[in-house]
Structure 1
């Protein structure tokens, strides 16, 4: 049976991909501050709960599942940061390190997850494809080739969009 075509098989799909998803969550959490209250397991569990609460969600393939999971991770981290900031009455920022360990993003930029979310929302008005590329790389850990397949665009377009997005985000973070 094709696990990706049957939404009722979410738990089997998660079981199959759990090691990979947990690895991605661990990478994501390594970018967070050391005293963050979420751990990779909690992040994976929250993402799964969020995904499984969506009625009729069907995944086309592994990349689609991981893309949706990455988007959920982003939403969870942003929500968690907002809750923490609200508890502090707006004080303090939640640091995240934007590090691209997968390829050539050499610059390490300390920032907060809320700023990253705000910048991605702003970037989406300029170029929604760049945002998708960032989400798939940063939150889902996909390679350029996988992103090319998921977004159905050429590999050269993915590379160009990634380069442009990194430059734009770096510039905006350092203003």
Structure 2
């Protein structure tokens, strides 16, 4: 292992230790949106995100950049988990049981997350700034001022972009992302 990669690992470890409590709250927030029977716990989600971040060799500008990246990684983990669950549920050799309708209710949340991820991928092609704003506000739990600072824009611009992206997402998903 090279000296430079040792430094990157140490930086990631240090940032993770500093951000652990905040990131655990983000993970808890994510998991509250998931079905009750989800196989990941907030701690497991956070640990999986750490493994991916530590193995990526990524460099981070600052604490906010690290926290935003970690929140995005956690979202990707949940989306991949939901996609895998939906794929497994479509197993052609499975025999339907009378309790399958209960599983269908829980899978609707996984479908919502997959639909949101698809909408965000589409948004990224149209407006990357708005996509990053959604990641910071909705997934990382940043305040508008924190998100504006992380994006290098004014708070006023962030509020303007947020209003537009919320309207766009409502149209795409027919839901209010603030849960109102």
- TM-score category by the smaller chain? 0.7 to 0.9
Matched residue of 2:56: which SS? coil
Q: What TM-score do the two structures reach when normalised by structure 1?
A: 0.82
Q: Which runs of 5+ in 2 are unaligned?
A: 1-6, 92-102, 176-180
Please state how far the C-alpha of 1:12 moved relative to its aligned partner.
2.6
**Contact between 1:81 and 1:94, CA under 8 Å: does it hold in 2?**
no
The alignment status of 1:63 with 2:77, answered yes or no, reads: no
Matches within 5 A, 1:79-98: 79-89=80-90, 92=104, 93-95=107-109
**Contact between 1:136 and 1:147, CA under 8 Å: does it hold in 2?**
yes
Aligned residues: 155
Structure whose CA Rg is larger: 2
Please state how far the C-alpha of 1:160 moved relative to its aligned partner.
1.1
In the other structure, the counterpart of 2:161 is 161
Q: Which runs of 5+ in 1 are unaligned?
A: 1-5, 97-110
**Contact between 2:26 and 2:139, CA under 8 Å: does it hold in 1?**
yes
Matches within 5 A, 1:142-161: 142-161=142-161
The alignment status of 1:40 with 2:42, answered yes or no, reads: yes
In the other structure, the counterpart of 2:135 is 135
User: For the aligned residues, what is the CA RMSD?
Assistant: 1.9
User: What is the CA–CA distance in structure 1 between the aligned matches of 2:165 and 2:74, rounded to whole Å?
Assistant: 20
Please state which structure has a larger fraction of its residues in helix: 2
- Give a deviation string over 1:76-103, Cα, whole Å, max 9, x none: 011101110111127954406xxxxxxx
Give 4+ residue runs of structure 1 displaced > 3 Å after superposition: 90-94
In the other structure, the counterpart of 1:170 is 170
User: What is the CA–CA distance in structure 1 between the aligned matches of 2:62 and 2:118, rounded to whole Å?
Assistant: 29
User: What is the CA–CA distance in structure 2 between the aligned matches of 1:145 and 1:23, rounded to whole Å?
Assistant: 19
Please state how far the C-alpha of 1:13 moved relative to its aligned partner.
2.2
Matched residue of 1:95: which SS? helix
Please state which structure has a larger fraction of its residues in strand: 1
User: What is the CA–CA distance in structure 1 between the aligned matches of 2:108 and 2:77, rounded to whole Å?
Assistant: 13
In the other structure, the counterpart of 2:30 is 28
User: What is the CA–CA distance in structure 2 between the aligned matches of 1:7 and 1:67, rounded to whole Å?
Assistant: 18
In the other structure, the counterpart of 1:105 is none
User: What is the CA–CA distance in structure 1 between the aligned matches of 2:121 and 2:70, rounded to whole Å?
Assistant: 18
Matched residue of 1:112: which SS? helix
